[in-house]
Amino acid sequence: MASAEPQPRFGQSVKGLLSDKVGSCSGDVIALTRQVLKGSRSQELLGQAARNMVIQEDAILHSEDSLRKMSIITTHLQYQQEAIQKNVEHSKNLQDQLRHVLK
């Protein structure tokens, strides 16, 4: 008994399989290309983040140095304030003594 549908010839089935494989490989190449591009973009973002961190680290170090200097200045100003207060007290004592002597 012969079949109603003609059997595909060997060459035609191989062409069909080959075409399917080429299509599948093309899809895989496209997916791989997308992943490479995505990885490249991620690498760019990581590089930019690293550069920003270095800039921030420099700013933090500069701020830390400024705070240290301001702390030293504050300490010196406190010493000067104490010295001025002592001198004011001494001058009041001298004024009192002068008033007492002049009476």
What does the alpha-carbon distance between residue 56 and residue 62 come to, in Å, rounded to a whole number? Answer: 10
Please tell me whether the overall predicted TM-score, pTM, comes out greater than 0.75 for this model.
Answer: no
Residues counted in the chain: 103
Residues with Cβ within 8 Å of residue 16, at least 6 apart in sequence? 8
**55 alpha-carbon distance from chain centroid:** 8
* Better pLDDT: 60 or 14: 60
Q: List own/partner pairs for 78-85 with CB under 8 A and 24 or more apart.
A: none
Phi, psi of 9 (to 5 degrees): -75, 160
pLDDT digits (tens, 9 = 90+) for 6-29: 555 555 687 788 888 888 888 888
